A = this chain, B = another copy of it.
Amino acid sequence: MDQPRYRPTDAMTSPRFVGIRTFMRLPYLPQPRDVDVVVVGIPFDTGATFRVGGRFGPAAIREHSLLLRPYHPALDVDLFEHLSAVDAGDIDVVPGFIEDSYQRIERGLAELLDSSGAVPVMLGGDHSIALPDLRVLQRRHGPIALVHFDAHLDTWDQYWGHKYTHGTPFRRAVEEGLLDTAHSIQVGIRGPLYGPQDMQGSRDLGFEIITTPEVHERGAEWAAQQIVARVGDRPAYISWDIDCVDPAFAPGTGTPEVGGFSSWQAQQLLRGLAGVNLIGFEVIEVMPQYDGPGGITSLLAANLCWEFLALLALRRKQAAGLAASAQADDQRG
């Protein structure tokens, strides 16, 4: 009950380039207890059908998270006033073997969440990890409202006769009953497809779709409002494929599509989700091998995790404010 509150190393004591790399320089606790948020890497990339290398994504995102500071000025919230957070390291996977890895991811993630009671932030890896992630979360929360940011639908049925790849996790998730598709939405879809049946397939599964051209034309704030309306008060999970952002802003990924979001639009989309009941976040398909020397893709991915943490903190801050206000009312009452 008196567990320590975990927060990043103070940059005023220790310069930000100093030390072992954890996300935001949070404490490294492989078996945390009683924390609010746990960041964990899942360096699995065998699901990739084109470029490959996301196994080095978690390390790269950590390396470029060093600059993140605790206060979010646009949302006016200090993340670590409201959240105790740690980096639990990575979950052991088995490169080359997806079903074996799925078992290990599920076991590792379940243990981590059971013992810590935390909201997870997952650093991928390719998008195939969404399936074990959702399996674990569904067991805790029931069917999940998925908020899926991506250039691609990832609801294809199979590739070359195989059911588990980075292009198929959400069809599997629907088949397994993990998702509340009536409250789920795919945002950022664009680029060449195999045919009109691709989008129809997602819609047949129950997903709403917002394409990137719609966001460009109607605005990211409009899109965020659509997401909020779709999700309602359900437990919502954000699965963020970095390729929903334009290759200019995120070149380090596996199946880039031109015409995507700017980093500002990405920020708007997340900031617009304030108030949603968020139960987890994953950022996937970061491949540092295809990033430039500035590491801007990993930097953006780290910032998106930070935006998610800010949403969590804001919700707690607002709840605390309401509670305090209610208590004050009671006392006055």
Contacts and interface: CB of A to CB of B under 8 A. Distances in A.
B259 A263 contact: yes
Interface stretch (A110-118, A274-282, A287-295, A320-328): A287-295
B294 A293 contact: no
Interface stretch (A10-18, A133-141, A227-235): A10-18
Contacts of A72: 192-193
A120 interface: no
A193 B73 contact: yes
A94 to B, nearest CB: 5
Interface residues of A, number: 102
Interface stretch (A142-150, A178-186, A247-255, A311-319): A247-255
Contact of A53 (B22, B53, B71, B259): B53
A17 B50 contact: yes
Interface string A167-197: 0000000000000000000000111111110
Number of copies: 6
Contacts of A190: 73-74
B292 A95 contact: no
Given A76-B196, A195-B78, A160 B296 contact: no
A136 to B, nearest CB: 18
A29 B297 CA distance: 31
A257 B267 CA distance: 12
Contacts of A191: 69
Contacts of A100: 160-162
A306 interface: yes
Interface in A238-280: 246-249, 251-253, 255-260, 262-264, 266-267
Interface string A27-62: 010000000000001010111111111011001001
A199 interface: yes
A66 B53 contact: no
B162 A94 contact: yes
B196 A89 contact: no
A222 to B, nearest CB: 14
Given A15-B95, A50-B67, 13 more contacts: A11-B194, A15-B93, A16-B49, A17-B95, A67-B192, A67-B256, A71-B194, A73-B193, A249-B258, A256-B294, A256-B299, A258-B267, A290-B293
17 contacts: A12-B160, A15-B95, A16-B50, A19-B90, A21-B21, A50-B67, A52-B95, A67-B192, A71-B194, A72-B192, A73-B196, A96-B164, A246-B248, A247-B294, A258-B267, A259-B264, A290-B292
